[in-house]
Amino acid sequence: MQGRQAGTALLLLLAVVVAALPAPSLGWGVDGHLIICEIAQGRLSDAAAKAVNDLLPSGAGGNLSSLCSWADRVRFRYQWSAPLHFIDVPDNVCNYSYDRDCKDEEGVKGRCVAGAINNYTSQLLTYGSSSLSPSSKSSGQYNLTEALLFLSHFMGDIHQPLHCGFASDRGGNTIDVHWYRRKTVLHHVWDVNIIQTAEKDYYDEGAGEFVDALNKNITGAWSDKVQEWEECAKSQTACPDKYGSESIAAACNSAYKGVTEDSTLSDAYFGSRLPVVNLRLAQGGVRLAATLNRIFG
């Protein structure tokens, strides 16, 4: 009896310990994805907006941003999807190569965020082509609603610099730091903390004003660069490799730079890295829209 009680107590303790462990971080936080999808929604062509509205579940009201974190919410139910949120590059290598790096831990090729973007883009290209299926939400072999939600999420993830980070620290997930006085990991600083601090300091705690500010830059200060952001080489529909290469460069030049285990990151880091986060959120939104416009155009 005693042994059984001790066993139960141990199990309970284990459950508490497991619950207290930080969940592995798999993407921009909810606000980062929301910001990217809000920017994209406002840039959709009529044809793309119509297709998106058709593919989204009816409760979404045609609004992509409410479902851009769906892929994170299903990562336990769809365990196969976990490696699709990121790319690991070899330690201290500041470039990315699809052939070398786009694989999961078992070495299965294409199972990384860039491969996932290519895959869901090709699935969505079957939209409207099926004469077999009575519903446009499925093209027979694919669930196009899920394909749209995955693509919209992964286009965000690939723009988070530490989603194309070093393998041994899992994109900064094993680097303990303090964000001001709070204990966290470097990856989480880039997923969540920089965005939250910006919202608190500049945007009245809200993502909406953050989106407005980025949109103002997209049509203003950055307007001469937007076309280049949108373009893919060789008339590709999606070009995630370019975004992954930019991310590992930003990870080396900005996210990892000067950070060691137990660093305290505060005003100086926030002030110098926020412009990088702003740029990546804007590029993510612009490129998600451009990709959806190409798919449904």
Binding mask 212-241 for Zn ion (x = CB under 5 A): ------------------------------
Residue type, 113: V
Nearest distance in Å: CB 63, Zn ion: 19
Nearest distance in Å: CB 61, Zn ion: 23
Nearer residue to Zn ion within complex by CB, 26 or 64: 26
How many chain residues interact with Zn ion (CB under 5 A)? Answer: 4
| Interatomic CA distance for residues 154 and 278, integer angstroms | 18
Q: Which of residues 34-93 bind Zn ion (CB under 5 A)?
A: 85
Nearer residue to Zn ion within complex by CB, 34 or 49: 34
Nearest distance in Å: CB 50, Zn ion: 27
Nearer residue to Zn ion within complex by CB, 36 or 198: 36
Q: At what angle do helices 194-202 and 267-296 cross, to 10 degrees?
A: 100
Task: Choose, by CB under 5 A, the member of 38, 88, 157, 191 that binds Zn ion.
Answer: 157
Nearer residue to Zn ion within complex by CB, 117 or 290: 117
Strand extents, DSSP E, 11-167: 87-89, 164-166
Please give the residue whose beta carbon sits closest to Zn ion in the complex. Answer: 27
Does position 27 interact with Zn ion (CB under 5 A)? The reply is yes
Nearer residue to Zn ion within complex by CB, 157 or 241: 157
Residue type, 151: L
Q: Which of residues 82-121 bind Zn ion (CB under 5 A)?
A: 85
CB-based contact 171:82 (threshold 8 Å) = no
DSSP secondary structure of 59-100: GGTT-GGGGTTHHHHTTTTTGGGGGGG-EEE-TT-----HHH
| Interatomic CA distance for residues 27 and 191, integer angstroms | 6
Question: Which one of the spans 22-30, 76-84, 123-131, 196-204 is the region binding Zn ion (CB under 5 A)?
Answer: 22-30
Nearer residue to Zn ion within complex by CB, 157 or 169: 157
Residue type, 30: V
| Interatomic CA distance for residues 210 and 208, integer angstroms | 5
SS3 287: helix
Question: Which one of the spans 138-146, 154-162, 182-190, 288-296 is the region binding Zn ion (CB under 5 A)?
Answer: 154-162
| Interatomic CA distance for residues 195 and 31, integer angstroms | 8
Nearest distance in Å: CB 157, Zn ion: 4
Report the candidate in 164, 149, 177 with the shortest Cα–Cα distance to residue 55.
149
Nearer residue to Zn ion within complex by CB, 86 or 269: 86
Q: Using CB under 5 A, list all residues that contact Zn ion.
A: 26-27, 85, 157
